[in-house]
Structure 1
Amino acid sequence: MTEHTTPTMPQENVTGTADNPGASRSGAMASPLGEAQPAPGGKSARPGGAKPTIGIILAIIAIILALLLAAALYFYTVRQGKAQAAAGQQLQSRLSELQQAQQQQQQQFQTALQQQGQALTAARQQAADQTRQLGELREKVATISGSEANTWLLAQADFLIKLAGRKLWSDQDVLTAGALLKSADASLADMNDPSLMPVRRAITDDIAGLSAVSQIDFDGIILKVNQLSNQVDNLRLADNDSDEAPMDGVGDSKLSGSVREWRQNLSKSWHNFINDFITIRRRDTGAEPLLAPNQDIYLRENIRSRLLIAAQAVPRHQNEVYQQSLETVSTWVRAYFDTDDASTRAFLADVDALSQQSVSLNVPDQLHSQPLMEKLMQTRVRNLLAQPTAAAASQGE
């Protein structure tokens, strides 16, 4: 037999029952959870106007909060959707702009690439034209110059011989003319042509003729003349007043202290004045030119100018002007300067030595190789240059 145990009522309910005698009178029985249990007759113990319990209120509040949260979430979702849609539209427009910009850049790049291609094609065409023109020029030069370099060597020799003639007759430069003739002979020797032996023999004769011309140290002569110009100030003037005694005596020229002899005193004073105003001296030797006081400066400068003319006549090979200038200097020095002085004697000795030298050159009147070279140029080079012109004229016909 099963033992039935009656559950023990909590202490709080017991206390509540004891404190509330009305509840015991209504015959209601407290449940273990503290809620009112219905009476045995089936009627509820809650009265009709009682307030809802706390649980129902909390449930309602939770439902309201859930609805509010759902509404807020809905509005937030709608707003986010609109924002995303707007951002999507912006991104779509930006993407469209970028695509348009990229298309424009591609078009510009293609245009630039086409332009560069056209420029490259034009450059290639220009390079091809220049190459063709260069080839034509080379052909023309080859036609003019011939298949050999002997024509250039021959023309070079002709130029050197003509230049040697100019240096010989215009500048009186024998050394340079000889060097130019030697260079012309070397050019003809490089051609290794036996038919040029007469021209080379004539060049050799011209070189030998120039070597026979006497070589004068013109630079040394100019230096000596300039040195004489610097020594002009060291020359001492001649003393022409060595005999200063009057020709006739004047007697007693002292004045008397007596008043009665006033006529004699007046006559003596007059004669003293006349004697001091005009002086006559005796000259036993030949008359020498007189030089005014302080005029020696002009004399020395005139001597320097004559020496300068003589120095300038040396490189020009003006022998007559050179000799006349030195003779004039020698004449002036002997006339106005002391020839007994050592410096004057040395100066005159140098002037006489320079006047003995000739500054002219006996150069040949012509070069034997020049007419032969002119004839050779006429037969070889100039006829060769006329050949392309004749060929072009025949092609034009």
Structure 2
Amino acid sequence: MAEETVQTPESPTAPAVAPPVLPAVSTPPAPAAPSWVTWLTATGGLLSVGAVALAWQSQSRLHDLEQELVRRQATAQTVAAEARQSAQQTQEQVRDLAAKLALAEARLAEVSIQRSQLEELLSQLSRSRDENIVGDLEASLRLAGQQAQFFGSVEPLVNALRQADDRLQRHKQPRLEGVRRAVLRDLDRIKALGAVDSTTLALRLDEVARLVDEVPLLVESQRVQKNVSPAVVAAPATGQGLTWQTAQTWVHQRAREVWSEFKGLVRVTRIEAPEAMLLAPDQVQFLRDNLKLRLLNARLALMSRQYDSVQSDIRSVLQALERHADARQRRAQVALEVLRQVQQQAKPIQWPRPEDSLAALAAVAGVR
């Protein structure tokens, strides 16, 4: 590298000094150097200059790289610190979110349970009118069937079927028309059985027991009503009011009275059972009491559904009345007729059930 000559200005205060003049000395001339050495020296100098320049340039780049590395390292540390801080914040947020998520899941489970309960409640409250009617009718018919068997009467079942028909008729829902037709079929079938409940039969037995004291018996004396003429003819008075026509009328009246009294002395009666006339007067009341006791026993057996005992007691009462009562009298005829009706109806029967109505209600309930 060529050295640079630095020229400094002379101080204005320094005096100019003239160089000394040396005497001329004669030197011998130097020998001429070869040309290749000069070229080699120049080449070496150039290479040295180039190497120094490259080294300086490499040193500069290395210094820049070190500065860049330091700068980037500082930036990386700053970013790492920010990343650590951000990661810490993220972890805290994740923990908060996890807690919130757990709380939300718990609330969601609670809401799901409440929703299921609410849906079930709404499903119960939002049942249609048809379903309510179907459930009510089915319950009422089953209860009426149980009451009919318990009380021994078809009236509860008939009343339940009539109420069901009225309710379905007011509702007028095409979906329930099949149920209404089934109800009408069951109602007609139960009415066609002609079953009389035990209460009605018991009332009829009470009526017969009341008539027993009033039924005329063959052994009792029959009252003969005298035929009294509607015109009462006064006895002929002595004096001017007596005439032949009046006397004739009075005689005829007295003759009819005498003839009526004479006919009452002898009475001819046809008696089918001669032993009925052999009852003593004190046995008549005993017979009536015995008949009433038989009827009371039949009533108790009827209420307890002992139909064999009922038939036996009614048969005994019928035989006694047919033997001892005067069948020509109206009260005797009424008592015998009522007893025959009770004997015909007091029989064990298979209590009907509204099978068609229950089947139709079950079919409608299965469709919903």
The TM-score normalised by the length of structure 1 is 0.37
The TM-score normalised by the length of structure 2 is 0.40
Give the structure, 1 or 2, with the largest relative contact order (CA under 8 Å, sep 6 or more): 2
